[in-house]
Structure 1
């Protein structure tokens, strides 16, 4: 009986040690730099684009897909759409780091009917930074505003822009199709014209002390932010993703500052790019700043409060703030910074402000795919800190908790075993 008890304790201690070692990150893993590549959504399905409609593979709303885009030619993907839902298919192109790109290089995305008639075009390019980074364009079908509003088969078409000036690498793609249902009958009287006026003055940025907050490496790992001042560090070529919960009636604005550096000299155009995207990953607005080594700041152009009727506005930035949900802030530091100012990393400050009176949104007839895409809870909007989207951070946090528990169990077990060995077996009490 005593021997069996000692064996049990030894097994418990050994298991605790093994479990602890398994959860303790290697020093190299802790020291490894982040932001070295785009984080695709976990479990994304691989799908090959077809050079023609005959071989196009189907993609459906609510799922995320991975593909790749050649330097030349088009890719087709098959869509089956109903007659009532608005459809958004964001396509994020991820060129390899170190690739040569021009300002006009990028991607063009469209949705076409089976006869090749286009419903919508969208494009995204790298701009003045001349630095490869993830760029997103959205294929879109708005019912009631498009010739393509019938229930039928459609095709998503993805192609490169100005590929002759780029290195001829294939670019990775992430596709995240989504649907927005029609309004319920009770919401049929929703405004069909955009709000006539809104506060377009650039808001005063928050002035409190900054808090450290590392961004994620993709949409799926974006770090949640609320109103406030946030600090991070980027090496040349890094792109970080944040998300800001913005409810109906609320107005989001953000700015960025790039720290001064004591080394290097010269001028880098488009050194830091700050982009705002809506919950369907549709581009809202962006801004880039040039850099000479001194501290520089910039801010996004103001956009109206989030309202359903904004979709009827003509300016694209106003049109894009059409639903509530997580709005994305994407920050990129140009690779060309390394040529003039070294490898960094460089300090970046983000100032996020959310104003406006919150109100209930329109009632939809069904639910979007993926579910909850156009929803913000009051708690999320108040805090904006629903936790880092970075799975590595979560794993380390859970691992740290589990490691402490395992070590405690191990120490208790060894102490009990030593005490029992020292005092000898106890006689049973009768």
Structure 2
């Protein structure tokens, strides 16, 4: 549509021009405003067309580093810094870390195959190992691709603890070696981006006693909220994950993408989350989409805290659930699996949601809306007293983060029409496009109306310019005496 200005007819005198200018000022303003609205409406489909069509890769952020082929040449990793490297099939890289005799340490590694890579569970994975100066193993963790054909970031850490329940030979101060090794015989020949981070947790005042974990992790997890979703685009990695808290959120995924979200968790709190998909577009069933979405929870040091579990029944939306134990310092000494020991820190936890292409593409086409239902529950309490600034080291929540977490909490409002969030969003999109079309017709009609009114005014009483019943008028408000522009009161 073309926006126009109402010019003067040819041959108009200076006096006529002054009269026309006074009368047409409001008409020009109205047309300009409606043209602006029309321009905004035109941008709606353009923005949708500009959205990316390919799956986003993991976003590696950090100082470039090249791991050595042996411990003698291993570059040093500094606390609180993130490093970037690459790792090919069958390669093993060495890195050095210098630790004291009192602090706990966590060295995380994130290996990120590209979305859509031809990976298989028994051939593709990485192993991270921490050794002391004598070559003794302090900790080791292997991470493998869970599902054939589904490439996603593999992340976890190795840790050195100093309490009575830790490995005795790994409590001394000195230089330790970290190795990251990729399995040989990979089906994916590409080198994988590698992100490394060392975090050092200050010691507890009075010394750690290896006490039993506080509370119980066997309690029934809190139920995630229901209701309509609010948009929240996820990050491409740990470094740019947006803050989310209790609420219902929605994000758009391309098949193969993994999106990250940061969840603030304090002592005594736990996470309960559900990631869900729309039903199958063809037959509205969920049986073919049960493995289409995966979710994992990571603690502030990027250690795997919990894998998601599929829980949808036939006829329900495909869902994956993650529920963690309450965060407690003593969990690190629990005689239980990793999912409890990992819940021994406070700060920003992470949820990583992956859309599995082999399970999605035959049933849901294009960009897929994913709903994340999240609840952070539990009574907060004071934690241990650190002999140092734990928050600065990356453990715990700053006052600003706590305030942001409260702002991020969504008011859980059900959709007034009782529709699922995806359908609600589709309805809003339809309304937007319909409004655009209707608004365009109204704009055309208004332009014709204004031009007709001007011609009518030009032929008004006495053959001279005048204000007809359909023209814009400058009138005085009978209550205030102020002049205002606009249509006659009967319009």
Shorter chain as denominator, the TM-score bin is: 0.7 to 0.9
CA change 1:150–1:241 in 2 (3 A) is same
Q: Is the 8 A contact 2:390 2:396 kept in 1?
A: yes
- What is residue 94 of structure 2 aligned with on the other side? 76
Q: How far off its partner does 1:83 sit?
A: 0.9
* Structure 1 residue 142 corresponds to structure 2 residue 161: yes
- What is residue 14 of structure 1 aligned with on the other side? none
- 1:248-274 deviation line (CA, Å, top 9, x unaligned): 111211111111232499946632111
* Structure 1 residue 117 corresponds to structure 2 residue 136: yes
- What is residue 424 of structure 1 aligned with on the other side? none
- What is residue 126 of structure 2 aligned with on the other side? 107
- What is residue 419 of structure 1 aligned with on the other side? none
- What is residue 397 of structure 2 aligned with on the other side? 375
State the SS of the aligned residue for 1:54: helix
Q: Is the 8 A contact 1:107 1:159 kept in 2?
A: yes
Q: How does 1:6-405 map to 2 (within 5 A)?
A: 31-32=51-52, 36-41=56-61, 44-104=62-122, 105-128=124-147, 130-144=149-163, 145-146=166-167, 147-161=169-183, 163-185=184-206, 188=207, 192-195=211-214, 197-198=216-217, 200-263=219-282, 267=288, 270-287=291-308, 289=310, 295-300=317-322, 302-313=323-334, 314-337=336-359, 339-341=361-363, 343-368=365-390, 371-377=393-399, 378-384=402-408
Hey, what's the Cα distance between the residues in 2 that align with 1:324 and 1:121?
23
- 1:246-303 deviation line (CA, Å, top 9, x unaligned): 1111121111111123249994663211100000011011125499997212312x33
For structure 1, the 5+ residue unaligned runs are: 1-25, 387-430
Aligned length: 355
Q: Is the 8 A contact 1:271 1:288 kept in 2?
A: no
Q: How far off its partner does 1:165 sit?
A: 4.1
CA change 1:190–1:112 in 2 (3 A) is closer
Q: How far off its partner does 1:34 sit?
A: 7.7
Give the alignment's TM-score, normalised by structure 2.
0.67
CA change 1:183–1:35 in 2 (3 A) is farther
RMSD, matched Cα: 2.8
Q: Is the 8 A contact 2:199 2:394 kept in 1?
A: no
- What is residue 402 of structure 1 aligned with on the other side? none
State the SS of the aligned residue for 2:147: helix
- What is residue 451 of structure 2 aligned with on the other side? none
For structure 2, the 5+ residue unaligned runs are: 1-45, 411-491
Q: How far off its partner does 1:334 sit?
A: 1.1
CA change 1:304–1:129 in 2 (3 A) is same
CA change 1:328–1:129 in 2 (3 A) is farther
Q: Is the 8 A contact 1:35 1:240 kept in 2?
A: no
- 1:327-383 deviation line (CA, Å, top 9, x unaligned): 100000112135523542112111111111111221111124863433253424433
- 1:216-271 deviation line (CA, Å, top 9, x unaligned): 11111101111011111211111100011111111211111111232499946632
The structure with the larger Rg is 2
Give the alignment's TM-score, normalised by structure 1.
0.76
Bigger Cα displacement from structure 2, 78-87 vs 367-376 = 367-376
Q: Which has the higher contact order (CA 8 A, sep 6+)?
A: 1
State the SS of the aligned residue for 2:292: strand
Q: Is the 8 A contact 2:263 2:349 kept in 1?
A: yes
Hey, what's the Cα distance between the residues in 2 that align with 1:53 and 1:312?
30
